[in-house]
C-alpha cells in the first residue's frame, strides 16, 4: 500500500497540527506523526476541506477527543482514495461532489474577476502592443489554429476585392510549386491567383498566398516564381505578417484571433497586407529561409537572384513592386544571395511545368 502525507490535528498534537505519514493497512488508516502514532477510528467523517475545498478532511472521534486529518490534493488524495474501504465510498463521493461545487464557484468568481480586470488591461495592451518587441512577444502565444482565422478573413476579402482565376494550368502550376515549399507546415496553404497586372505576391498569416498574374507574366521560368513564393512563404512561416497585423491592428487582431472572424471585424486587413513593409531584419530572414526552402525542394536557388536582378534592371526609375521595394536595396540583396547561392551544391530538379502553356492560359498576355 502506498504511503502518503497529510496534516493531522487533535489531542496530544501540536496546536498547528503535525505532518503525518499515512498508510492503509488491512482497511485501517494508520498515521505516524513525529510525536505519536494513531489509527483512524471506525466511524470517520469525510468531507471536502481546506482553502478552495481541494483537500479531503477526514475526522473521527477517539476517546481522548476529535482528530482531523487533511489529505492534500494530488498524489496523496489519489493514494487515500485508491485503498479506501468500500463502506466509506459513499461518503467520499459526497465529499467529491462538494469539492467540485466549490471549484465551480471559484471558477465563476475568477471569471468575474477577469472580466473586471480585462477592460483596463485591454486598454493597456492597446497602448503597448504597437511596438515590434511586444508584437513579437504576443505572436509567440498565438496558436496556428487562431492564425488560420486571420487567413480565412484574408481569403474572404481577397475573393470579394480581387478578380480571382480559380482554375486552369496557372492555378495548377502555382499549387504544384507552392506545395513543394511547405512540407511539415503547421498551416493549411491556399494558393490564390489574382487577375492583376502588378508583379506582386504576398503570403497572409495562416497560409493564404495570393499571387498576381502579372508576376507569372514577368517570370521566364516557373523556378523564378517558385523563388518569389519561397520568400513569401518564409514570411508566413516566420510569422512576420502576423506580427505586422498584431502591431498595426492591436486589439482588433486580438478580437479576430480569439473570437469570431467576421469580415466586418477587420475591413482593412487585405489593404494592410498589400501595403505592409517589413523590417530589414525580417527581409533578410525571409531571404535566408526562402533559400533554405528552395534547396530543400531541390529547386535551383539561383532563380531567386535571377528574378531579383531582372526586376531591379527592368524597374529602374519605376516604382518597384512592394515585395522587392522594401529595403535593403534589391542590388544588395541580390549580391548577398548570390554569394550564398554560389556555395550551394546541386543537382537541382527542374519543375515539370509547361511554362508557355501557363502564360498562354492567363487572361492578360505579355
Ligand atoms: Zn519580403
Q: Residues with beta carbon < 5 A to ion ligand 1?
A: 283, 286
**Residue labelled with grid coordinates 503570403:** 203
Checking if the pLDDT of 317 tops 90, the result is no
Residue (of 3, 1, 102, 105) closest to 55 by Cα position: 102
Mean per-residue pLDDT of the chain = 82
Cα-to-centroid distance, 134 and ligand 1 (Å):
21
- The C-alpha cell that represents 351 in the structure block: 519543375
Query: What phi, psi does 189 have (nearest 5°)?
Result: -80, 140
- Res 234: pLDDT: 94
- The C-alpha cell that represents 106 in the structure block: 471559484
Cα-to-centroid distance, 26 and ligand 1 (Å):
72
Cα-to-centroid distance, 257 and ligand 1 (Å):
23
List the Cα angle 179/295/151 in 5-degree steps: 35
Give CA–CA dist 332/287, Å, rounded: 12
Cα-to-centroid distance, 232 and ligand 1 (Å):
6
Q: What is the dihedral of CA 143, 144, 150, 152, to 10 degrees?
A: -140
Cα-to-centroid distance, 280 and ligand 1 (Å):
9
Cα-to-centroid distance, 259 and ligand 1 (Å):
29
- The C-alpha cell that represents 28 in the structure block: 485501517
Average of per-residue pLDDT across 310-332? 59
Cα-to-centroid distance, 38 and ligand 1 (Å):
73
Cα-to-centroid distance, 54 and ligand 1 (Å):
53
Q: Which uninterrupted H or E stretch holds 321?
A: none
Cα-to-centroid distance, 125 and ligand 1 (Å):
28
Cα-to-centroid distance, 200 and ligand 1 (Å):
11
The runs of H, that is alpha helices, within 193-239 are: 213-218, 222-237
Q: Which residues contact 298 (CB under 8 A, 6 or more apart)?
A: 347, 348, 349
For residue 300, give the 3-state DSSP assignment: coil
Q: What is the dihedral of CA 82, 88, 91, 97, to 10 degrees?
A: 20
Give CA–CA dist 232/174, Å, rounded: 13
**Residue labelled with grid coordinates 480569439:** 258
Q: Which residues contact 68 (CB under 8 A, 6 or more apart)?
A: 8, 9, 10, 57, 58, 59
Question: Cis (ω within 30 of 0) for the bond into 98?
Answer: no
- Res 298: pLDDT: 95
Give CA–CA dist 306/348, Å, rounded: 15
pLDDT band at 189 (very low <50, low <70, confident <90, very high): very high
Cα-to-centroid distance, 117 and ligand 1 (Å):
39
Which range, 126-130, 135-139, 174-178, is most confident?
A: 174-178
Cα-to-centroid distance, 81 and ligand 1 (Å):
59
Proportion of the chain above pLDDT 70, given as a percent: 80
Residue (of 206, 301, 203, 345) closest to 215 by Cα position: 203
Checking if the pLDDT of 191 tops 50, the result is yes
- Summarised one tens digit per residue, pLDDT across range 206-232 is 889 999 999 999 899 999 999 999 999
Question: Please, what are the domains in the chain?
Answer: 3-99 (2.30.29), 135-360 (no CATH)
Checking if the pLDDT of 69 tops 50, the result is yes
Cα-to-centroid distance, 234 and ligand 1 (Å):
8
Checking if the pLDDT of 175 tops 70, the result is yes
Q: Which residues contact 297 (CB under 8 A, 6 or more apart)?
A: 180, 181, 226, 230
Kindly tell me the sign of the dihedral angle through the C-alpha atoms of 28, 30, 36, 42.
negative
Cα-to-centroid distance, 324 and ligand 1 (Å):
7
- Summarised one tens digit per residue, pLDDT across range 243-293 is 777 776 665 555 555 554 444 445 566 666 666 677 888 888 998 999 999
Cα-to-centroid distance, 150 and ligand 1 (Å):
19
- Res 264: pLDDT: 42
The dihedral region occupied by 196, where left means phi > 0, alpha psi between -120 and 50, and beta the remainder, is beta
- The C-alpha cell that represents 163 in the structure block: 478578380
Cα-to-centroid distance, 233 and ligand 1 (Å):
9
Cα-to-centroid distance, 323 and ligand 1 (Å):
5
Q: Whole-model pTM? A: 0.60
Residue (of 172, 163, 155, 297) closest to 226 by Cα position: 297
Proportion of the chain above pLDDT 90, given as a percent: 31
Cβ count near 50 (within 10 Å): 15
Which of 266 and 15 is assigned the larger pLDDT? 15
Which range, 7-21, 106-120, 142-156, is most confident?
A: 7-21
Cα-to-centroid distance, 89 and ligand 1 (Å):
65
Cβ-count burial 17-33 (b if 16+ within 10 Å, e if not): bbebebbbeeeebbbbb
- Summarised one tens digit per residue, pLDDT across range 45-61 is 998 877 667 888 999 99
How crowded is the C-beta side of 107, counted as CA atoms within 13 Å? 6
Amino acid at each position: 500500500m502506498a504511503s502518503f502525507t497529510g496534516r493531522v490535528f487533535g489531542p496530544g498534537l501540536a496546536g498547528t497540527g503535525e505532518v503525518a505519514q499515512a498508510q492503509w493497512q488491512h482497511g485501517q488508516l494508520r498515521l505516524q506523526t513525529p510525536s505519536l502514532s494513531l489509527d483512524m477510528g471506525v466511524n470517520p467523517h469525510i468531507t471536502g476541506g481546506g482553502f478552495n475545498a481541494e483537500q479531503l478532511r477526514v475526522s473521527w472521534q477517539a476517546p481522548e477527543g476529535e482528530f482531523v486529518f487533511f489529505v492534500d490534493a494530488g498524489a496523496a488524495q489519489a493514494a487515500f482514495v485508491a485503498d479506501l474501504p468500500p463502506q466509506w465510498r459513499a461518503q467520499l463521493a459526497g465529499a467529491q461532489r462538494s469539492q467540485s461545487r466549490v471549484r465551480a464557484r471559484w471558477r465563476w468568481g475568477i471569471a468575474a474577476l477577469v472580466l473586471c480586470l480585462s477592460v483596463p488591461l485591454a486598454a493597456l495592451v492597446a497602448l503597448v502592443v504597437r511596438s515590434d518587441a511586444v508584437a513579437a512577444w504576443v505572436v509567440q502565444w498565438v496558436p496556428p489554429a487562431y492564425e488560420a482565422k486571420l487567413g480565412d478573413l484574408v481569403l474572404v476579402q481577397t475573393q470579394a476585392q480581387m478578380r480571382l482565376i480559380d482554375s486552369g494550368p496557372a492555378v495548377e502550376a502555382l499549387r504544384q510549386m507552392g506545395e513543394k515549399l511547405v512540407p511539415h507546415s503547421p498551416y493549411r496553404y491556399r494558393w490564390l491567383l489574382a487577375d492583376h497586372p502588378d508583379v506582386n505576391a504576398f503570403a497572409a498569416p495562416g497560409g493564404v498566398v495570393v499571387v498576381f498574374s502579372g508576376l507569372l507574366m514577368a517570370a521566364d521560368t516557373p523556378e523564378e516564381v517558385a523563388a518569389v513564393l519561397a520568400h513569401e512563404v518564409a514570411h508566413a512561416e516566420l510569422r512576420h505578417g502576423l506580427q505586422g497585423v498584431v502591431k498595426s491592428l492591436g486589439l482588433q487582431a486580438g478580437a479576430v484571433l480569439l473570437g469570431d472572424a467576421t469580415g466586418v471585424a477587420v475591413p482593412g486587413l487585405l489593404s494592410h497586407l498589400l501595403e505592409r513593409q517589413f523590417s530589414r531584419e525580417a527581409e533578410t530572414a525571409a531571404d535566408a529561409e526562402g533559400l533554405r526552402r528552395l534547396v530543400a525542394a531541390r529547386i535551383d536557388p539561383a532563380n531567386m537572384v535571377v528574378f531579383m536582378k531582372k526586376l531591379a534592371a527592368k524597374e529602374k526609375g519605376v516604382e518597384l513592386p512592394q515585395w522587392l521595394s522594401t529595403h535593403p536595396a534589391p542590388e544588395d540583396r541580390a549580391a548577398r544571395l548570390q554569394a550564398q547561392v554560389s556555395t550551394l551544391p546541386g543537382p537541382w530538379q527542374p519543375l515539370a511545368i509547361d511554362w508557355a502553356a501557363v502564360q498562354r492560359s492567363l487572361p492578360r498576355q505579355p
